[in-house]
Amino acid sequence: MMINSNNGYILEAEGLHKSFGGGSATEHVLRGLDLRVGAGEFLAVMGPSGCGKSTLLHLLGLMSGPDEGSVIIDGRDTTGLGERGRAELRRRKIGFVFQRFNLISVLSGYDNIALSLRIRGLDSGRTDELLRAMGVEDVAGKKPSQMSIGQQQRLAVARAIAHKPDILLADEPTGSLDSENAENLLELLSKANRQDGQTIVMITHSPMVAGAAGRIVHMKDGRITNENH
């Protein structure tokens, strides 16, 4: 599953700039940010609200493009890729875990996972295996509104790792969880990293949550300022 690029980095950001608005209302969110993530690494990105963490994750996940700079995935410079090219790379290489899970409300637990596999052209037959592995086989036929927060959480992780992405991006994944469910989610992410070799980039403002990662970098004013190992 995990593929090393020639320099050992699976994910690189070089000189990223990103602004929103225009004229006097322009907001400069990222200001020449550089970041390198090794294949199989579990990285936490910390920083105060408004420092650009979520914007960084959106750029790393190819959900939008930078104004300047480049994102390199597994040795491939994504600069100049159109939406179709970015979408194809996302489907093959990247999984997302969001704070609010973003499960499809009209679909059952089973179909939330199966659809994620089908749209990538993969066999949905391993859906039952994933439900069992996450301990949520009992919600296979339920819609998200009929599940507890903990069940939704586990289902969201199952969906994110279903296609065995090389890179898993987690956007404040514990932000809406109580302490018990937060610990459970961090264990699920750590397991995906340890056992499956998935590269994880997680943004958080919590030192406790960041402690689950193998490396921590800090952001301030749109740049990486320092890091802890």
Tell me what pLDDT residue 130 has. 86
Pick the range with the lowest mean pLDDT from 81-90, 136-145, 210-219: 81-90
Sheet holding 27-38, edge to edge: 27-38, 9-20, 68-73, 76-77
Q: Is residue 91 part of a domain?
A: yes
Q: Is residue 52 part of a domain?
A: yes
Tell me what pLDDT residue 1 has. 38
Number of compact structural domains in the chain = 1
Q: Is residue 34 part of a domain?
A: yes
Give the pLDDT mean for 109-124: 88
Q: Is residue 220 part of a domain?
A: yes
Give the pLDDT mean for 204-223: 93
CATH classification of the domain holding 46: 3.40.50.300
Q: What are phi and psi of 12, to 5 degrees?
A: -135, 140
CA distances from 161 to 22, 48, 89 (A): 38, 28, 15
Pick the range with the lowest mean pLDDT from 9-13, 32-36, 81-85: 81-85
Q: Does 16 have pLDDT greater than 90?
A: yes
Residues across the chain: 229
Answer yes or no: are the C-beta atoms of 164 and 113 closer than 8 Å.
no
Q: Is residue 3 part of a domain?
A: no
Give the pLDDT mean for 168-190: 88
pTM as predicted: 0.88
pLDDT in tens, 32-82: 999 999 999 999 999 988 889 999 999 999 998 999 999 999 999 998 888
Give the pLDDT mean for 118-137: 85
CA distances from 63 to 55, 58, 227 (A): 10, 5, 26
Q: Is residue 97 part of a domain?
A: yes
Structure tokens at 221: 């004013």
**CB-based contacts of 55: which residues, under 8 Å, 6+ apart?**
18, 29, 30
Domain that holds residue 95: 9-18+30-228
Q: Is residue 23 part of a domain?
A: no
Owner of token pair 């020449």? 32
Give the pLDDT mean for 26-36: 92
Tell me what pLDDT residue 229 has. 58
Q: Is residue 64 part of a domain?
A: yes
